[in-house]
Amino acid sequence: MEQSSAYEGQPLHEPKGWWGRYVFSQDHKVIGLQYTCIALAIGLTGMFLSLLMRMQLGFPGLFESIDAGSYYQDVTMHGMIMVIYLLTALFLGGFGNYLIPLMLGSRDMAFPFVNMLSFWFYLLSVLILVASFFVESGPTGAGWTLYPPQSILEGTPGADGAGIILMLASLAVFIIAFTMGGLNYITTVLQSRTRGMTLMRMPLIIWCIFLATFLGLLAFPALLVGAIMLIFDRVLETSFFMPEIFKGGEVLDYGGGSPVLFQHLFWFFGHPEVYIIALPAFGIISELISCHARKNIFGYNMMVWALIAIAGIAFIVWAHHMYVAGMNPYLGFFFATTTLIIAIPTAIKVYNWVITLWNANIRMTVPMLYCLAFLITFLIGGLTGLFLGNVAVDVPLSDTYFVVGHFHMVMAVSPVLALYGGLYHWYPSVTGRMLDDRLGKIHFWITFIGTYLVYFPMHYIGFLGVPRRYYSNDQYDFIPQSVNDLNQFITICALIVGAAQFILLYNFVVSIYKGKKAGSNPWGACTLEWQALESPPGHGNWDVQLPVVHRWPYDYGLPGATADFVPQNVADEDIT
């Protein structure tokens, strides 16, 4: 152990000057904020693209600049930005960076320099992505799944220019950034827990981020391989994924490849990706619901094992995205079964959240409102997932608006509600001030009701059979005029929800200066990030001594204590 102390006992590098403190910072809190800001900025772009897309669906022809090509570019970039560059980056890069060392009682990440590099690579990947908007023929419009052959052939926007190449390059850089960050998170969780912080005393959000990072580290290489091979096919005209193709009156130079191979690689990454987003959201909800209901989380052990089960099974369900994609149809039996099995641990998590509310003392704070709304939308999204996972039901519903409704409920609305709950909850820890409560509630109601009205009706036009990714529905007789009316209604709702996000932005900026002073532990939470010496925590997080952990993180309403919570670093004999 002597040699290891040479590594871990090294003094912290005090940041030098303004640049070292705020730009090239190695402090996990600053890096977390940098991740958060960039992710929110690119996320805002993604939202704007979705509104453009909604304008075309709700009011076709109103904006002449939205032609079919640019519509598909908007769809593609919206999906990619939201899934990868907003949610993955924000949950793991933002929340993960900020919370892991603070909640575990460590001074920083295990490798602060690698952590900083991770952010800069992420920024580089975002810049490459943004650059694709400014090249000739624009960004790729291949759909966020980037399925070959169409993603690299003429006839798809951005395929003949640099759009698709930049997209794939950006993904590769993102994966490098994620790998550097991810190795760091895992090493930190395994190695840098303070004394007493055993694995089974970690807050559930740390478990969630830890497992989500594991999923990412094991799943992203599949996408990397797919992306490299697709770049080869596009630039060097190899035939990994490209079969004989007759297009534009001639047989192309490709031959013999398999488009389905790409789909396997993509979804081997793509399905765990769903849980990379969902697990941190689960974690946020677990923290928030326990803290704001002033009640211990129910069934901690079961929750942890359910998470591990979800993370494990997440690797053997990928082909449920491909039931009708031309793979061996008999695989459908296997993947339908695994997919419905994964519903069981997921349901356990939901049960444990709602049972936590039983006999609780529920404070209807803004974070709690987001939690409860998350439970409702996640219920809808999870239950509709049972339709699509069940292979025969998937046949009529796949690639219709039912799918759009389902995955937006489960991996857009739900994680974003959890995300907002988390932002309201931890804002005081970051800035030392509270967000405005009234603005928070207005923002909550518009977001919750608005998104519900946007996505809930989509399930029913999915039953009707309206296919997704249609630029216009006019040509089809089976689609009645009422669908267009509904589209108009949805677009109006979406515009209102979009506008409401600026309330949050305003609240964010103004509260830094004008917010109520928060004090060190405004919510009365047990976890360590609220027990730091300074508020907000300074460089190195803790006093000369690290905190020592004596209990699990959910001692709310502990019998025998006067206060309704006992922080993790309070010893039994110190309870008053």
Partner 1 sequence: MTEVINNEKEKFMGLTHAQVFMYLLMTVISILFLFITNAYLFRMNFADWQSLPMPTLLWFNSGALVLASVGMIWAKQGAKSGSPTNIKIGLTAAGIFGTLFTLGQITAWQELNAVGYFLASNPANTFFYLITALHVMHVLGGMVAWLRVSFKVFLGSENTATEHTIGLLGIYWHYMLLVWALLFSILLTT
Partner 2 sequence: MAFVIVTTIIVIGTVLWNFITPWWFTPLASNWGALDQTIIISLWVTGVAFVLVSGFILYCVVKFRYKEGHKSEYEPENTKLEVILTAITTVGVIILLAPGLIAWNDYVNLPEDAMEVEGVGQQWVWTYRFPGEDGVYGNTNGRLFSSKNTFGLDPNDPNSQDDILIRSNHLHLPIDEPVVFQLRSKDVLHDFYIPQFRAKMDLVPGQQTNLWFTPTVLGTYEVACAEYCGTGHFAMRGIITVDTMNDFQSWLTEQPTFFDTMNEGTKGQGKQIAQTLGCVACHSDNGKNGIGPTWKNSFGSQRMMTSGETVIVDAEYIKESIVNPNEKTAQGYAPVMPAYKMSDDELDAIVEYIETLSE
Using CB under 8 A, which residues numbered 137 to 166 contact partner 2? 137, 141-143, 147, 149-150, 153-157
Token pair 């200066």 is at which residue? 513
CA separation, residue 482 to residues 58, 486, 488 (Å): 12, 6, 10
For partner 2, which is the closer residue by CB, 29 or 406? 406
- Which listed option, partner 2, partner 1, none, makes contact with residue 512 (CB within 5 to 8 Å by class)? none
Told to check if 488 binds partner 2 by CB under 8 A, we report: no
- Interaction residues for partner 2, span 266-305 (CB under 8 A): 293-302
What SS3 state is found at 357? coil
- Interaction residues for partner 2, span 547-576 (CB under 8 A): 554, 556-559, 564
- C-alpha closest to that of 211 among 348, 308, 105, 306: 308
For partner 2, which is the closer residue by CB, 9 or 249? 249
Q: How far is the CB of 457 from partner 1 (least distance, A)?
A: 40
Binder among 12, 37, 127, 364 for partner 2 (CB under 8 A) = 364
Task: Candidates 79-87, 225-233, 386-394, 409-417: pick the segment binding partner 2 (CB under 8 A).
Answer: 386-394
- C-alpha closest to that of 557 among 292, 282, 301, 366: 292
- Which listed option, partner 2, partner 1, none, makes contact with residue 228 (CB within 5 to 8 Å by class)? partner 1
Site string for partner 2, 16-55 (x = CB under 8 A): ----------------------------------------
- Which listed option, partner 2, partner 1, none, makes contact with residue 131 (CB within 5 to 8 Å by class)? none
Q: Give the sign of the dihedral formed by CA 266, CA 272, CA 276, CA 282.
A: positive
- Rounded to an integer, what distance in angstroms lies between the CA atom of residue 45 and that of residue 43? 5
Whether the Cβ atoms of residue 322 and residue 262 lie closer than 8 Å to each other:
no
Q: How far is the CB of 8 from partner 1 (least distance, A)?
A: 6
For partner 1, which is the closer residue by CB, 231 or 494? 231
- Which listed option, partner 1, partner 2, none, makes contact with residue 225 (CB within 5 to 8 Å by class)? partner 1
Told to check if 361 binds partner 2 by CB under 8 A, we report: yes
- Rounded to an integer, what distance in angstroms lies between the CA atom of residue 168 and that of residue 294? 46
Q: Give the sign of the dihedral formed by CA 568, CA 299, CA 274, CA 240.
A: positive
- Rounded to an integer, what distance in angstroms lies between the CA atom of residue 98 and that of residue 106? 12
- Which listed option, partner 2, partner 1, none, makes contact with residue 204 (CB within 5 to 8 Å by class)? none
- C-alpha closest to that of 351 among 378, 369, 386: 378
- Kind of pairing, strands 250-251 and 246-247? antiparallel
- Interaction residues for partner 1, span 211-270 (CB under 8 A): 217-218, 221-222, 224-225, 228-229, 232, 236-240, 255-258, 261, 264-265, 268
Site string for partner 2, 431-460 (x = CB under 8 A): --------------x---x--x---xx--x
- Which listed option, partner 1, partner 2, none, makes contact with residue 362 (CB within 5 to 8 Å by class)? partner 2
- Which listed option, partner 1, partner 2, none, makes contact with residue 106 (CB within 5 to 8 Å by class)? partner 1
- Which listed option, partner 1, partner 2, none, makes contact with residue 278 (CB within 5 to 8 Å by class)? none
- Rounded to an integer, what distance in angstroms lies between the CA atom of residue 465 and that of residue 459? 10
CA 286 distance to own-chain centroid: 16
Whether the Cβ atoms of residue 223 and residue 571 lie closer than 8 Å to each other:
no
Q: Give the sign of the dihedral formed by CA 334, CA 335, CA 336, CA 341.
A: positive
Using left for φ > 0, alpha for ψ between -120 and 50, and beta otherwise, residue 237 falls in left
- C-alpha closest to that of 260 among 212, 322, 309, 302: 322
DSSP 8-class letter at 250:
E
For partner 2, which is the closer residue by CB, 315 or 471? 471
DSSP 8-class letter at 325:
T
Binder among 107, 292, 295, 408 for partner 1 (CB under 8 A) = 107
Binder among 179, 400, 429, 507 for partner 1 (CB under 8 A) = 179
- Rounded to an integer, what distance in angstroms lies between the CA atom of residue 221 and that of residue 230? 14
Binding site for partner 1 (CB under 8 A): 1, 3-4, 6-9, 11-14, 106-107, 110-111, 179, 183-184, 186-187, 190-199, 217-218, 221-222, 224-225, 228-229, 232, 236-240, 255-258, 261, 264-265, 268, 540, 544-546, 548
